[in-house]
Amino acid sequence: MNEAPPDVTALLAQWADDDSARERLIDSVYAELRQLARSLMGAGAAAAVTLQPTAVVNEALIKLLGNTSVFEDRRHFFGSAARAMRQVLVDHFRRKQSEKRGGDIDFTSLELAQALPVADVTELMALDEALSRLDSLDAQAARIVELRYFAGLTLDETADVLGIHPATVSKEWAHARAWLKRALQ
């Protein structure tokens, strides 16, 4: 007989005070987070990332474990996880760019330094900056972009995570894409 999956919302309520609740929560959502990271790693500009989905999830979890705030529910947690994954990827790209500009020079790994196409890194960095500006103007639209682009969620999944109607997500997604397109030109 299979054991019932743990109640994620209940475990999140215990997040700040109970290490065993954190462990049970991570065990119960780890596969889902890896799938999100895998989707992210297959997305356009992120395709050339030299990180593995497991590394992205682990780094994101480290960021989340350092978070002392309480997650309201599953939606809040997965939204925070998507943001943490975005930060992990952007930080990774920044380190790679720094290495290409001479920081942390390792003359024996020229091939590794050239493994990440500059255009992809530049595009992701520009997207991150534009997304930060969008966040200050329209936080919901920025969350939708994070969940759709960085976490690879569908319109319906994004609506579920944010607790809004799929039609609203569709409208906001179109608005955000248009705004980002103008901001990136």
The residues spanned by each domain of the chain are 8-184
The average pLDDT across 108-129 equals 55
Q: Is the pTM of this model over 0.75?
A: no
Q: Is the pLDDT of residue 99 over 70?
A: no
Q: Is the pLDDT of residue 172 over 90?
A: yes
Alpha-carbon distance values, 43 to 2, 77, 100 (Å)? 35, 22, 23
State both tokens at 40. Answer: 């992210």
Q: What's the pLDDT at 68?
A: 63
Q: With 0-12 CB in 10 A as exposed, 13-18 as middle and 19+ as buried, what is 5?
A: exposed
Percent residues over pLDDT 90 in the chain: 14
Q: Are 159 and 110 in contact (CB under 8 A)?
A: no
Q: Are 74 and 8 in contact (CB under 8 A)?
A: yes
The average pLDDT across 106-135 equals 61
Average pLDDT value for the chain: 76
